[in-house]
Amino acid sequence: MGFAVFHASKGSGSGGGTGHHIDRTPGQEHTFKHTDPARRELNENRALENGAHLVPLPDAINQRIAEGYQGKKAIRKDAVKYLSLVLTGSHEDMVKLATEPARFKQWQQANFDFVAKEFGETNVVRFTLHMDEKTPHLHAVVVPLTEDGRLSAKDLMGNKKSLSLQQDRYAEAMEPFELSRGVRDSKARHTGEGWYLEHLKEARESQNKATVPEFTFKDRLSPDNYVEGVKTSLNALQQQSIDLQLENQRRAKQVKEAQDKQQHTEAAAARQKEAVQAIAEQLVSSGKEGITLNTSYALNKAPAAIKEAANVVFFKKVKELAETHLKSSIEPLIRQFLGVEEQVKPTQQDYKRLQELDTPDTRQKLADYVMENFNHEVSKKWGVSLSAKGSVYLDLARKALKSVHEVTAIITQEVKKALGLDKPQQQNRGRGIGR
């Protein structure tokens, strides 16, 4: 299994250089000099619903800020206006994946879904596949606008722990493509837009230079060239040594994972055998009265191995129910609470009431109410409830809160659009936004 690679960097300038590199702008070849022109037609610039892919990147960034920024202060000149993302994987794995068209399309969609979920789909102003470099990879550019209209890269990216959790989520999204997370708390530092791809390119090209050149008569006349050649060869040898060390570490990790998996399988088989025997004893001991086999029994009274398996199935079913129940119940609840009905033109009073009621505390209470109703549905269906302190409940509660945020933002935008309040304010544009 190869590694999933997700790298994010901040941008406070116009984004012109990044745009030239991603869009392969004619006349700006110095921003993508390590590319194969013959393969350039394989690149794909995804069509975005906001139309941002149709305009130069600096314009797309400025337009998104003008549309979504709700701050009262003018944006600082050194503010982070966009985040540049690179999404790819280990070289060999990506090359192999690109030979499977259907699966490669699924990989691209999974990456887009991840970026949209993490940063907001409306904030995505570029999503481009590059096939004309050594390793297939995706570039995404997002504007760091929060749900309440602030320009804050810090809120979207968080601290070191948040970034590590984000890497976990990315690795989870890439599991179907046999790409796993890299080493946690690595000391590696990534520098520049093409850090990963350039490293792979240099590492492979250097293999042809990994021998110390012979000192000839010609070299006596020009010793400086010979010294440079020796330096290049030594650097290549050092790179080969690093590559071998990394490969050895990777293989050692694979061996350990295989051993752990075997031990886990053997332990699971032993537990299953014990569980079958324990159930047989319970059935025989119960005599004529028998045992009521239901969800409560499977989760609470059955032998350990059965309870373990039942928990996996139960939580899977609960999550499937949440996919339909939570989403379908949130929007009607919020519309009812805010007094904003579909198909009915809102008024200024509706907008004022929406602003007064839409607070972080209110959103949390709505999410809590949704989870209480959902837990009631779980209890009706299976006779047991989720523990409010359990990981599954807490995870669903976070998703419920996020859905409340998203739906409230959609309704707010809907009301603003109906009242003509969604147009950019000219005075803000004049104070520096989008420059």
Total residue count of the chain as it appears in this document = 435
Cβ-contact 407, 334 below 8 angstroms:
yes
Give residue 20's pLDDT. Answer: 92
Domain spans, the chain: 2-190, 309-418
Cβ-contact 83, 9 below 8 angstroms:
yes
pLDDT digits (tens, 9 = 90+) for 181-198: 865 555 444 433 444 445
DSSP 19-47: HHHHHT-TT-GGGGTTS-GGGGGG-EEPP
Nearest Cα neighbor of 93 from 196, 193, 190, 4 is 4
Cβ-contact 73, 140 below 8 angstroms:
no
Per DSSP, 296 falls in state H
What pTM value is reported for the model? 0.46
For residues 119 and 162, give the distance between their C-alpha atoms in angstroms, rounded to a whole number: 13
Question: Cβ of 194: how many Cβ atoms within 10 Å?
Answer: 20
Give residue 56's pLDDT. Answer: 93
- Which one is predicted more confidently, 141 or 276? 141
- Which one is predicted more confidently, 138 or 356? 138
Mean pLDDT of 356-376: 89
> Residue 78 in 3-state DSSP?
coil
pLDDT digits (tens, 9 = 90+) for 95-132: 889 999 999 999 999 999 999 999 999 999 999 999 99
> Residue 275 in 3-state DSSP?
helix
For residues 81 and 75, give the distance between their C-alpha atoms in angstroms, rounded to a whole number: 9
Residues of the chain above pLDDT 70, percent: 84
Which CATH architecture is the domain 2-190 placed in?
Answer: 2-Layer Sandwich (3.30)
Distance of CA 227 to the CA centre of its chain: 46
Which of 213-217, 256-260, 277-281, 284-288 shows the lowest mean pLDDT across its residues? 213-217
Give residue 1's pLDDT. Answer: 67
pLDDT at 159 over 70: yes
Helix (H) or strand (E) holding 373: helix 360-382
User: Mean pLDDT highest for which of 65-69, 305-309, 354-358?
Assistant: 65-69
